[in-house]
Amino acid sequence: MIITFEEFMTARHYRESTVRTTARELKRVRDAMDAYAPIPPYCERTARRALTWLQACPDQDVKLRQYLESQGVRPITVVLTEKIPLRKREARSFEDKDWDRFRDALYLSDDPRDRVIEILCLTGLRIGDLLRTPTARIARGLELNEIPIERKGGAYVYIPVGVAEPWERLLEQLTARQCVNVASLLSSNPSALAGDASYQAVNRRLQYWRQTLGFKARVHTHKMRRTFAVRMYATTKDLLAVQQALNNGPAATMKYLDESRSATLAEHQRNLFNKRSGE
């Protein structure tokens, strides 16, 4: 019986949204194969999932399996189990005192993982976007005061350097270790497809800080992105500026700002009333 990639993913208990996203990325992997090009860095997990599927179904797409193996892709060995839906936790940003202690601890550390986390705190970037950024692009961006970041899917967004010191410290470590990109700085595998291991390294470091600093709430990369958004809005009162900084749509931006939702809507109502009163 022929099992499609989507059916294989569903049978292994991947979420429906993950199945859809992975299926789209697999097309980009096939395009890279047809062009005799390397696998795009943001498609590493998709490549691993595809190879797992092809090894389980050896009659499927032999050419693709040979291409993935030639690129050094490793299959996924962990089998997901069906999960019972849990009550969704309320997402919150860092408290001000915890945020300040966290940033101070990061600044004093020389651990390369903390350099990456510090950049995430400073910019609100998605971790995947930062991990796939090449060293040469950071070096050039520091000269131009604007760093191009490749988003998932291949599109670019240009972010201002702003406070240069964290970027400079990150670049110093990247250069010293001759890393091709940020992901390879955090992984024993120097290849460009080291994103998954690097992501886990950052998560382990965040749990270390949670225990060391005594944080009661969960600490994860999106918590830093949320805190960046909340603090930026508190400073600027500019929803458009926050949206542009996060590189999100309006609805997604408001999800990050749900702690400020009531105050935000009230402010919009006041501004609208004042505008109409002056007409």
Would you list the DSSP string of 180-232?
Answer: SBHHHHTSS--STT-HHHHHHHHHHHHHHHHHHHT--S---HHHHHHHHHHHH
Q: What confidence score (pLDDT) does residue 165 get?
A: 92
Write out the two tokens for 124: 């609100």
Going by pLDDT thresholds of 50, 70 and 90, the confidence category of residue 192 is very low
pLDDT value at 152 more than 80? no
Contacts of 180 (CB under 8 A, 6+ apart): 134, 135, 190, 191, 192
Q: pLDDT confidence of 45, banded at 50, 70, 90?
A: confident
Q: Which ranges in the chain are annotated with CATH 1.10.443.10?
A: 102-207
Q: Identify the helix (H) or strand (E) that includes residue 157.
A: strand 156-160
Interatomic CA distance for residues 34 and 28, integer angstroms: 10
In CATH terms, the fold of domain 102-207 is: hpI Integrase; Chain A (1.10.443)
pTM, two decimal places: 0.72
Q: What is the pLDDT of residues 241-265, one digit of tens each?
A: 888 888 887 777 877 787 655 555 5
pLDDT interval class at 92 (50, 70, 90): confident
DSSP state of 156: E
Specify the higher pLDDT residue, 230 or 77. Answer: 230
- Least confident residue range of 8-17, 20-29, 76-85, 157-166: 76-85
